[in-house]
Structure 1
């Protein structure tokens, strides 16, 4: 491992979905790295320590905002090969739904633009993590157990991600991936050029053998692209998020509706659950992609129009009317429940990390491989799982980049980042992120309280509530006319958020991990200037 302890120390905070990744990101900060270095190290560590949700063959979107408010986004979305198969009677799966990987080029681009430490000194410790292994956490173990059947179908995935007897890794077990460790060690020395050599040829051969469409030439030609950044004022703060490459416009629409409702209702203080539920419902109905398939919605609203104040005001007025009218009107407005998805396929896929340093640089980075364990087929040359593209599976359009529900967000106050947040859990990501922002801004909660507070969110036509939401709050929602999902199990998922920020009272850097998963926040103590 690089001699991190011999380097100058810096302060900061990192929050991720897996404790080993948070600790590694914090060590990068201790070594003198900035928030971008820490985010790159933590993201690579998540490919090791959270394999159900992220892979070296997966995708990501990263957002960076500096202390002066300047922002950049990096688009590391996966992409359909140009010779992707034609639509059939059933959606594509396995190798056939595996897209061109984007996360390694994206992370290297992010580091090249704003990193401070040497690339190899960030990546070598990740290789050692893969070799040494990590202790499987409780929620990881449940996901592993749910995924045994599909992992068993691919010999490479079974060899790498199941025990020799074919059983899943359980809580407390140590999981090691020496094949991935070797690949990461080479990645530390060669950077993304590693994908331009024999590894690309190996990935093509593995894909073709499994009925997939990846080619070495397209793997080499893939480039991370600049992402669009979107800004929206909210209650004296400013939201910055990733635009049309992800679901940042949906997040902005949610907050725009809530801000308009507060003005319409003359409201100050915590947002009521029913108002939050209706704002999220309207924003999901307006966003330009179909929920589930992520195909473009025919005749869908333009992204730019989602920022229009007139839309926000009209939605706010409708919320006021619905909550002052009969419950039957509200029930008809939100519609009938849809069939419940398979539990094992929708357990919190995607992951998010947030990082901030003592100089005011903030990063929000969301990564994914599709459903849990991605395409459930693995690469023997990299030790990693291939991602699954929902877009390729349902609408195999050659060359199309995946536009997912990722919504990395950074909140500014007086032009300076004070909160970096984002989440996991499919279409519930922007709603979960919006509620954490509102908990901080409108309820004045400390960050961990804001992340852990009970939430509402939508899925399959039902309003979900956090399993720990008080019964009386659920009762009020049901009496208002909402059809509620059960309060326990996977149907209660309302997003998984990881966040870091600046405490308004004294400028301390703080971090928060969502209690519904296995995340951890690690903070290096040093204050930044107190907020005005």
Structure 2
């Protein structure tokens, strides 16, 4: 209680020490905030007492500090997430949503929290159509129309209430400090800003926060402070999560989405959104059962619908397992590509919000169904798009109708972030959250310092009949795949990744490398990646084309097309006697940050 009162007193000083702006509590930085010593970033760390892996050193330090103060994995995960909302604002933040998988050591229970965004009540299946034709992706994205009702704050509050030990206000302190004190702009941040410049320049609040006076990205090495976001976090710290969903913050979100704050020289059309204050008041984060498959003596838990992550990762693993132990890495990669091809056909046909769609999840996760998909895989590549299968008999029923037509065009890749945390008691969190595309919908909420999401472009907005079509109140299908692996009821591995639709293949590839080939986890995370999503060509990182397996895969008819880096995974592996190894990307997205409480 004394600690809670001290926190409230600290935030009260923060909220009243500077002049107030319209309907917004004021904030000034305190010398006590942001004064921690520099944190050394490394990709792999081993030790005990808990571990953290994120894409950012500030976020990892925030989580580690909470663990050292006696917080558990859930407390630390929220602290890291709030800090990432400052330092990785183009990938995540309180203007978006996500999915959290939690392992609770005391009862060996795995559960999940769904804080996915929802479509406003006024949204309709044809909302993204213009003159009967679907909007171009950029026209749909950079608009108020693409913004779903944010779920992140309610997700944090639910996770802390049900499974944490600290109040929201306490775990927000590192995020407040980082927003007030600022962070150093690196090359990755500048590179993420650059493609957004033409649209960021249209929005007065976004331009002021993320562009220099000459309209270019913030200089690498400069200090970026976000006092508006510090104020917003301080408001949540004192008044709780509810203050995000009603009152001045909610009103400002609605205003920003329905009437984007355009600069006089804006040179794009920004369509108004449909979010209403009633949508925000009514939003709820939902606790859901995880997906589960058995794989080589392990239990693999992940996220169920409305995410397609757990079912599709599970389908890939089950299909590869049905084919037996591969003779070589090249053979495993061929099987992985083909299993992904068929699993994505099923994902595209059947997955959607379970409150709106009859998802045959039991069938999709069954080994019997995977055996039928494995029977289609031969020594050479299939021609995509392959059709979906029929999983309904594997849950004892007949298909209610024909499967949806498989998608043939890969949607634009989106960004996200993932963090993995464990504590000294054995609790584990794998958490992926997002604002969808890098930079979300491009609209910073004026006075509050956070970007809105463009999650509604995750709907199949070119279809009025697809299971993932736009509907009021619906959660768009996701690919997010936070995953926890248990051996004999105890954690063996936890992992996840950003990367839009490539999240699924990133998680599956790491698991196959680790458990089929026995690749050490740091090497499995660093390995060059492939992503086949039922398209004619498999997207690969450039290093795949120079690998020993490339020629053999191409000889099998696999078309490999090099593109951008795929994913940015974080993971924790659990050994004997409480030893843990935290692993982050060594290079991708500028390299991640892994740490342990004790070496």
1:465 aligned onto 2:540: yes
The structure-2 alpha-carbon separation of the partners of 1:149 and 1:406, relative to structure 1 and needing over 3 Å to count, comes to: same
1:83 aligned onto 2:117: no
Please, which of 170, 185, 200 is the counterpart of residue 250 of structure 2? 200
Report how far residue 127 of structure 1 moved. 0.8
So what's the TM-score if we normalise by structure 2? Answer: 0.78
The structure-2 alpha-carbon separation of the partners of 1:114 and 1:48, relative to structure 1 and needing over 3 Å to count, comes to: same
> Secondary structure of the residue that 2:324 maps to in structure 1?
helix
What is the CA–CA distance in structure 1 between the aligned matches of 2:597 and 2:174, rounded to whole Å?
23
> Secondary structure of the residue that 2:497 maps to in structure 1?
strand
Structure 1 segment 92-103 matched on structure 2, within 5 A: 92-93=140-141, 94-103=143-152
The structure-2 alpha-carbon separation of the partners of 1:332 and 1:393, relative to structure 1 and needing over 3 Å to count, comes to: closer
Report how far residue 290 of structure 1 moved. 8.3
Deviations along 1:28-56, whole A, 9 cap, x unmatched? 11111111111111111111110111121
Structure 1 segment 31-110 matched on structure 2, within 5 A: 31-67=69-105, 68-84=107-123, 86-89=127-130, 90-91=134-135, 92-93=140-141, 94-110=143-159
What is the CA–CA distance in structure 2 between the aligned matches of 1:238 and 1:99, rounded to whole Å?
33
Where does residue 438 of structure 2 map in the other structure? 372
The structure-2 alpha-carbon separation of the partners of 1:277 and 1:369, relative to structure 1 and needing over 3 Å to count, comes to: same
What is the CA–CA distance in structure 2 between the aligned matches of 1:119 and 1:59, rounded to whole Å?
17
Please, which of 498, 502, 509 is the counterpart of residue 574 of structure 2? 502
1:209 aligned onto 2:262: no
What is the CA–CA distance in structure 2 between the aligned matches of 1:393 and 1:373, rounded to whole Å?
20
Check the 8 A contact 1:230/1:241 in 2, yes or no. Answer: yes
What is the CA–CA distance in structure 1 between the aligned matches of 2:591 and 2:243, rounded to whole Å?
30
Where does residue 530 of structure 1 map in the other structure? none
Contiguous gaps of at least 5 residues in structure 2? 1-31, 37-47, 261-271, 387-406, 462-468
Deviations along 1:438-460, whole A, 9 cap, x unmatched? 22222223321221122221255
> Secondary structure of the residue that 1:482 maps to in structure 2?
coil
Report how far residue 271 of structure 1 moved. 6.4
1:275 aligned onto 2:335: yes
Check the 8 A contact 1:352/1:367 in 2, yes or no. Answer: yes
Deviations along 1:396-426, whole A, 9 cap, x unmatched? 4211112211011000011011211111111
The structure-2 alpha-carbon separation of the partners of 1:392 and 1:377, relative to structure 1 and needing over 3 Å to count, comes to: farther
Deviations along 1:96-148, whole A, 9 cap, x unmatched? 11111100000111011111123222102211101111122332221111211
Where does residue 565 of structure 2 map in the other structure? 493
Check the 8 A contact 2:74/2:160 in 1, yes or no. Answer: yes
What is the CA–CA distance in structure 1 between the aligned matches of 2:578 and 2:371, rounded to whole Å?
34
Where does residue 165 of structure 2 map in the other structure? 116
> Secondary structure of the residue that 2:117 maps to in structure 1?
coil
The structure-2 alpha-carbon separation of the partners of 1:145 and 1:38, relative to structure 1 and needing over 3 Å to count, comes to: same
Computing the radius of gyration from Cα coordinates, the structure with the larger value is 2
Check the 8 A contact 2:98/2:434 in 1, yes or no. Answer: yes
1:253 aligned onto 2:315: yes
What is the CA–CA distance in structure 2 between the aligned matches of 1:414 and 1:433, rounded to whole Å?
21
Larger helix proportion, structure 1 or 2? 1
Between 70-79 and 209-218, the greater mean CA deviation after superposition: 209-218
What is the CA–CA distance in structure 2 between the aligned matches of 1:36 and 1:380, rounded to whole Å?
30
Check the 8 A contact 1:25/1:38 in 2, yes or no. Answer: yes
Where does residue 511 of structure 2 map in the other structure? 437
Where does residue 150 of structure 1 map in the other structure? 199
Structure 1 segment 123-138 matched on structure 2, within 5 A: 123-138=172-187
1:418 aligned onto 2:492: yes
Report how far residue 218 of structure 1 moved. 1.8
Where does residue 189 of structure 2 map in the other structure? 140
Check the 8 A contact 1:74/1:226 in 2, yes or no. Answer: yes
Report how far residue 235 of structure 1 moved. 0.5
Check the 8 A contact 2:341/2:384 in 1, yes or no. Answer: no
Contiguous gaps of at least 5 residues in structure 1? 528-532
Between 494-503 and 235-244, the greater mean CA deviation after superposition: 494-503
> Secondary structure of the residue that 2:62 maps to in structure 1?
helix
Report how far residue 466 of structure 1 moved. 2.8
The structure-2 alpha-carbon separation of the partners of 1:435 and 1:462, relative to structure 1 and needing over 3 Å to count, comes to: same
Please, which of 17, 20, 28 is the counterpart of residue 55 of structure 2? 17
| Equivalenced residues, count | 502
Check the 8 A contact 2:383/2:536 in 1, yes or no. Answer: no
The structure-2 alpha-carbon separation of the partners of 1:14 and 1:76, relative to structure 1 and needing over 3 Å to count, comes to: same
What is the CA–CA distance in structure 2 between the aligned matches of 1:142 and 1:188, rounded to whole Å?
32
The structure-2 alpha-carbon separation of the partners of 1:416 and 1:141, relative to structure 1 and needing over 3 Å to count, comes to: same
Where does residue 64 of structure 2 map in the other structure? 26
Where does residue 220 of structure 1 map in the other structure? 281
The structure-2 alpha-carbon separation of the partners of 1:333 and 1:101, relative to structure 1 and needing over 3 Å to count, comes to: closer
The structure-2 alpha-carbon separation of the partners of 1:63 and 1:208, relative to structure 1 and needing over 3 Å to count, comes to: same
Deviations along 1:159-216, whole A, 9 cap, x unmatched? 1221222111243332211111111111111221212222222222222223221112
> Secondary structure of the residue that 2:129 maps to in structure 1?
coil
> Secondary structure of the residue that 1:140 maps to in structure 2?
helix
- What RMSD, in angstroms, separates the aligned Cα atoms of the two structures? 2.8
Check the 8 A contact 2:33/2:181 in 1, yes or no. Answer: no
> Secondary structure of the residue that 1:33 maps to in structure 2?
coil
> Secondary structure of the residue that 1:403 maps to in structure 2?
coil
Please, which of 275, 284, 288 is the counterpart of residue 344 of structure 2? 284
Report how far residue 481 of structure 1 moved. 0.2
What is the CA–CA distance in structure 1 between the aligned matches of 2:429 and 2:35, rounded to whole Å?
21
Where does residue 457 of structure 2 map in the other structure? 390
The structure-2 alpha-carbon separation of the partners of 1:175 and 1:359, relative to structure 1 and needing over 3 Å to count, comes to: same
Please, which of 217, 229, 235 is the counterpart of residue 290 of structure 2? 229
Structure 1 segment 300-339 matched on structure 2, within 5 A: 302-319=360-377, 322-323=378-379, 327=380, 330-332=381-383
